Structure 1
Amino acid sequence: MSGLRITGRLRSLALVLAAGAFMVGGLSSTAAYASEAAPLGTEPQIGIQFNPDGTGQCEGRTGEQWATSPNWTEAIRLDTDNRPGGCRLAFGVTDPDGTLAGSSIKYQLTRSTNGVGQCGDNLSPNEVPILPIPAFGKQVRVDTDNQPGWCNLTFTVTGRIVLDVQLYADGEPGQCEDASPVTHSASAGSPVTVKIDTDGRPGGCQFLLRLRHF
């Protein structure tokens, strides 16, 4: 029994040291650690953190979720309009066995050229933490409304990763990039950008991710 307790402590220490290395690497200010209850397995997992700071504009799977490669996440639903508040988004990858060593994912939310004040104040590229423990990068804020313009969400990938992205409308097609589910695949040298322009028109945008590796 004592041997089992020691082994458990050593595993916990290893996870703490991994987190410390991540913080030393300069990303501690851009990461929010998830619950220890997030599932850990041998395959990498993609995580979405999706939280409303208003009412009724952020639906589907809110909170935190993790999907094991190559499965899709559950859909989150963006329907930000003139109501107060918006939706906060962040992403993470758990990689217990180091399968994705040398690979990276970045995400960036930017305003369209005619967009004013719709997409929060974090408009810089954000690193997706790829760690043996669950963690999320810095939040971006989607808050489109009836003003001109929209938010662009871009994913950039390096290494042996393919990140599949779906963003599609469940109402007025002009609020999202596609009127039906179409998969956009981000890979090394081929980033993906999707357009979020939800406003007072009917419906919103369904958003899903899938992580694959080779």
Structure 2
Amino acid sequence: MIDFAMRQNGDSRRGDRRRIYHAAPSPNKTSDPGSSAGRSVASAPMTTAPLTSPVGGLSVGPAEITDGAELWRIARGSGELDLNSPYSYLLWCRDFADTTAVARDASGRPVGFVTGYLRPDAPGTLFVWQVAVEGSHRGSGVAGTLLDALSARVAAEHGLDRLEATVTPGNLASDRLFRSYARRHGADLTREVLFPSASFPVAGHEAEVLYRIGPLAPPAS
């Protein structure tokens, strides 16, 4: 699942440590009838992102092992994510650097990230696990830019058919993030409960709703 932490103009964006979105109104699998994210439309080709893409004074690129401690710091500072151990972020930056995007300021310091992986049983599917942006850079579209840059890179290097993430039914900001991504890429968005509340060992955990976005068009040549 994905953790998504961002506050925009007083709007709380949070998600579990697994995915980035908030559950949609219906817990059953359904397409979103209210926007192009829920309708079949012509998929827009992805533009292959360069290794470094400017984002309002920031640059976006793959993770490096030395980013692990900073990613842990950003996740901890979000105040919203289920924080993993520092070791897990170091290991992630070593083993999943190709499916992770990091936003850096002019000094090269990480200020935001999206972590993901290609599902072993569905190698054309990118699962977004965590999304977090430092407080001083929230509300400026960094999360959406990170998603676009990461999916373009994965599509160019590995091939990409779909993007997945989970959202709990209250994370409206994550819901908007993924709906917006689906609209930009002209892809369908469907939802269904992946892990009901009863699946978790701690009482009170919300259900995790799986968002599936696709099919995604191949990168533009």
TM-based fold match above 0.5 = no
Q: Which has the higher contact order (CA 8 A, sep 6+)?
A: 2
Structure that is richer in strand per residue:
1
Given the two structures, how large is their TM-score scaled by the length of structure 2?
0.29
Given the two structures, how large is their TM-score scaled by the length of structure 1?
0.30
Q: Which has the larger radius of gyration?
A: 1
Structure that is richer in helix per residue:
2
